[in-house]
Amino acid sequence: KQWYQRRVAITAGDFRKRGLIPLSTYMKVYKNGDIVDIKGCGTVTKGMPYKVYHGKTGRVYNVTKRAVGVIVNKRVKGRIMAKKINLRVEHIRHSKCRDDFLNRVVRNELVKKEAKASGIFVSTRRAPVVPRSAHTVKGKGISVEEVCPIRYEFIA
C-alpha cells in the first residue's frame, strides 16, 4: 500500500484547492514548442502522468482536442532519454522558467537603444554579486571573548 499512499500524496490537491477545476484551465492555449510543467491533478484521473513525470518540465510537440503531447527527459540507468507522453490539459501548465530570460532580453534591447542614441558603450552582461567589503564589527561595552576548543585529556 505504500506505493498507493505516495501516489495519492503527490497528486492530492492543495489545501482548499480540491474539487471542481477552474474553467481557465481549459481556456489556456498550448502551441507546439511551448514549455510546460507537469503536475498531476488528482481530480481528473484520465490522462494523468505516471509519477516519474510529476514535477518535470517538457516541450509540447502535439496538440489534440483535450490533450497535449509533451517531450520530457527521463533518466534511465546511465543515460537520459527523451520520452513522448500524452497528458490532458488539467495536468500541465505553462512554465515560468523562461520569463526572467525574456524580460532580460527586452530590458537589454531598451538599454542598447538608449546607449546607441547617446553614443556610449553599455555592457548588458550579467555580473556576479560582488562580495561585501571588509569591516570591523564593534560592540559597545562588550568584552572580546576568545573561543577555542578544550584540550583532550585521557582519563583512566
Number of residues in the chain: 156
| Each residue's pLDDT tens digit, 45-98 | 899 999 899 999 999 999 999 999 999 999 999 999 999 999 999 999 999 999
Q: Can you read off the three cell numbers belonging to residue 123?
A: 555592457
- Could you say which DSSP state residue 53 is in? G
Is residue 155 pLDDT above 90, yes or no? no
37 SS3 class: strand
Are 60 and 34 spatial neighbours (Cβ–Cβ below 8 Å)? yes
Element (H, E) at 72: strand 67-76
Output the pLDDT for position 142: 86
The rounded distance, in Å, linking the Cα atoms of 64 and 57 is 19
What pLDDT digit, counting tens, does each position of 30-59 carry?
999 999 999 998 888 899 999 899 999 999
- Under 8 Å between Cβ of 55 and 40: no
pTM higher than 0.75 for the full model? no
